Each structure stands twice: as C-alpha cells, then as structure tokens.
C-alpha cells in the first residue's frame, strides 16, 4: 500500500500511475479509527474499481464542539495494518494545513435537509462534511465513492452536493455493519464502558421493533413506543427518534413510499446514531 501525506504527491501518482493507464478509482473517505464497517467499504470498492484510495483525515470543520474533536479516536498505526490486510492500494493521510489554508471559505446551499435531525443537533456539521468531501473529490477524481448507511443523512447531503456541483462520480451507500449483539459499528464505540455498551443495544432493538411492527397508519404510535423504549433504558438520553421519508427526512405519513427510521442518543458521554430502512 502506498501512503501519501501531501496533495501534490497523491495527485501526481494518480495521474501518472493510474489515470494514464485508464484504471478506475474508488474512494473511501474516513476519519480513521477503522473497524470492520470501514473495511466492508474498502472491499465493496475493490469489486468495482482497479484502485482503491482510502483517506484518513479528522476534519475539524465538521465538529461544532472542540472537545468532541479533541477526543475523537486517532489510531493511525492500527489503521494502516488493517488497510494492508485488506490490500487497500492507497492511503491519503494529510495534515490539516495540507487541506485547508487560513482563507478557506465554504457554504453550500443544502436547504432544509441541513437543519433536520443531525443538522439540528450539530449546527454547521454538514457544511464541514461537504467541504472536505468536495476537496477529496476534486483531488482524487474518483469514478465511485463509498459511504456507510449508518450516516444516512450524510449520504443524502453528499448526493445533493454532487448534483449541485455537477461532479462526475457514482455514490454507493453500503449496508450498516453490526457487531453480533446488534450494535452498529462506530469509531466512537471504543468510548463505551461494558455497561454502557449493553444499554446502547436499546437503539437497534427499538429500530428493529419498529421495522417488524410497521404499519403505515400507525406511524405516530410506533414513534412514541420507540421513544418510550429508549427513554426507559438506564444511562441513555434520547436525542431523536424519527420515522421519515427516505428522500427528504421529513416525517413520514401513511402515503410515504420510501421510509427510514433514524435514532440518535447519548449513552454515557458518547453520542451514537443508527437507522434502519423500513421500505
């Protein structure tokens, strides 16, 4: 695996060694602290492309809480070993100064989607997400890019950015990877104590209960039951539970065709998100 820390070196390599040979490039953007969920994105990218580029960059512009940025796990040495084990071709691991200059400005007219759910709880978060993904797309010029379903809202917003900026890239949303107990894999899970981890399982239980008992005419009741289920779990503070339109993330109703249930909660000091596609 080749490792690059500068945009110049990465750009030259991709142009001279990959593009000139007419090979396709798949991009997997990450913030590191890799787990099996990330590796599943790498494997999916390998099925569709000649070369896979994984980026590891803890992006400061998508954190509205400096403490959250500071405590975000950084495990580069272990990440490199994991990427080598799955035969990833390229790792791009730049410093902040390599990505942003002091005059960097960015605003994308995302619309209502920016202020719903995660956007409501994390103001400015999706401006930071679209900013770094746009930079990576312009740098790598991937044929396809791979993202996890766990960040469902993020995928919708990046899809909107691609349309607004007319970027020629295929976006692929890959299924959520879960531990055997049902907890959605997340880099933040390492902050959970054994007890907190057990309590965190209520999130996937509530989502699956809604999916298994779903009736279009009972959406309001299902939402309330799920909220109660999570609210009664010790050490879990519910942020939101929404049964939404899968395209707009506005509340679903009996006539909605594409439906997704999404949840966010704080377990101890760790904020977790999860979702399940219902129809």
CATH of the domain at 248: 3.30.1300.10
Q: Where among 128, 147, 174 does a domain terminate?
A: 174
Is there a single domain that holds both residue 138 and residue 202? no
Provide the number of structural domains found in the chain: 2
Is there a single domain that holds both residue 126 and residue 170? yes
Catalytic position from the list 35, 38, 125, 199: 38
Q: Does residue 277 lie within any of the structural domains?
A: no
Q: Does residue 181 lie within any of the structural domains?
A: no
- Supply the range of the domain harboring residue 197: 187-272
Is there a single domain that holds both residue 12 and residue 101? yes
pLDDT of 103 reads: 72
Give the largest CA-CA distance in the chain: 59
Q: Where among 139, 174, 209 does a domain terminate?
A: 174
Question: Has 107 been annotated as catalytic?
Answer: no
> Mean pLDDT for each 10-residue chunk of the chain (279 residues)?
97 90 95 97 97 97 91 95 98 96 86 95 95 98 98 98 98 97 96 97 98 97 98 98 98 96 97 97
pTM of the model: 0.96
pLDDT of 38 reads: 98
H helix or E strand, kind and range, residue 144? strand 144-148
pLDDT of 59 reads: 96
């Amino acid at each position: 695996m080749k490792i690059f820390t500068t945009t110049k070196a990465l750009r030259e390599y991709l142009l001279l060694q990959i593009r000139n040979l007419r090979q396709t490039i798949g991009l997997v953007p990450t913030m590191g602290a890799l787990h099996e969920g990330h590796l599943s994105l790498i494997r999916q990218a390998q099925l569709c492309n000649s070369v896979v580029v994984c980026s590891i960059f803890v992006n400061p512009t998508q954190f509205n809480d400096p403490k959250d940025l500071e405590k975000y796990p950084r495990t580069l040495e272990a990440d490199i070993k994991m990427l080598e084990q799955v035969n990833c071709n390229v790792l791009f691991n730049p410093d902040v100064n390599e990505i942003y200059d002091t005059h960097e400005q960015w605003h994308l007219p995302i619309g209502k989607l920016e202020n719903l759910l995660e956007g409501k709880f994390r103001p400015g978060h999706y401006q930071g997400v679209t900013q770094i993904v746009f930079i990576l797309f312009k740098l790598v010029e991937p044929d396809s890019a791979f993202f996890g379903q766990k960040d469902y809202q993020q995928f919708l917003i990046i899809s909107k950015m691609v349309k607004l900026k007319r970027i020629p890239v295929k976006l692929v949303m890959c299924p959520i990877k879960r531990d055997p107990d049902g907890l959605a894999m997340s880099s933040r899970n390492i902050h959970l104590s054994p007890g907190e981890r057990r309590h965190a399982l209520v999130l996937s239980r509530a989502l699956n209960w809604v999916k298994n008992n779903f009736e279009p005419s009972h959406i309001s009741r299902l939402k309330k039951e799920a909220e109660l289920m999570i609210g009664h779990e010790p050490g879990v503070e519910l942020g939101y539970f929404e049964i939404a339109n899968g395209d707009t993330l506005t509340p679903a109703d009996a006539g909605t065709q594409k439906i997704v249930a999404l949840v966010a909660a704080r377990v101890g000091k760790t904020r977790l998100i999860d979702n399940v596609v219902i129809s």
